[in-house]
Amino acid sequence: MNECSAVIQLHQVRKSYPGAVSSEVLHGIDIRIDQGEFVALVGPSGSGKSTLLNILGLLDRPSSGSVEILGRECTEMDDAGLTTLRGHSLGFVFQFHHLLPSFSAEENVFLPMLADAGHFKPEMRTRARDLLARIGLDGFETGPASQLSGGQQQRVAIARALVMNPALVLADEPTGNLDRASGQQVFEFMRRFNRELGTAFLLVTHDPALAARCDRILTLEDGSLVTQE
Are 50 and 41 within 8 A, CB to CB? Answer: no
Calpha distance 92→71 (Å, rounded): 20
Euclidean distance between the first and the last CA atom of the chain, given in angstroms as a whole number: 16
Angle of helix 105-117 relative to helix 122-134, nearest 10 degrees, comes to: 140
Buried b (16+ CB within 10 A) or exposed e, 78-114: eeeebeebbbebbbbbbeebebeeebbbbbbbbbbbe
Q: How far apart are CA 36 and CA 38, in angstroms?
A: 7
The pair phi, psi for residue 219, each rounded to 5°, is: -115, 125
Closest CA to 48 of 19, 74, 21, 14: 14
CB atoms within 10 A of CB 69: 22
Contacts of 180 (CB under 8 A, 6+ apart): none
pLDDT attached to residue 31: 94
Whole-model pTM over 0.85: yes
What is the mean pLDDT, run by run of 10 residues, along the chain of 229 residues?
75 85 84 94 88 92 93 90 91 83 91 90 92 87 86 90 94 84 87 92 91 93 82
* Pairing assessment for the beta strands 168-172 and 90-93 based on DSSP bridges: parallel
Number of domains in the chain: 1
- Looking at residue 155, which CATH number applies to its domain? 3.40.50.300
* Residue 127: strand, helix, or coil: helix
Check residue 44 and give its pLDDT.
87
Rg (CA), the chain: 18
Q: What is the largest CA-CA distance in the chain?
A: 56
Contacts of 147 (CB under 8 A, 6+ apart): none
Residue-range definition of the domain harbouring residue 107: 3-228
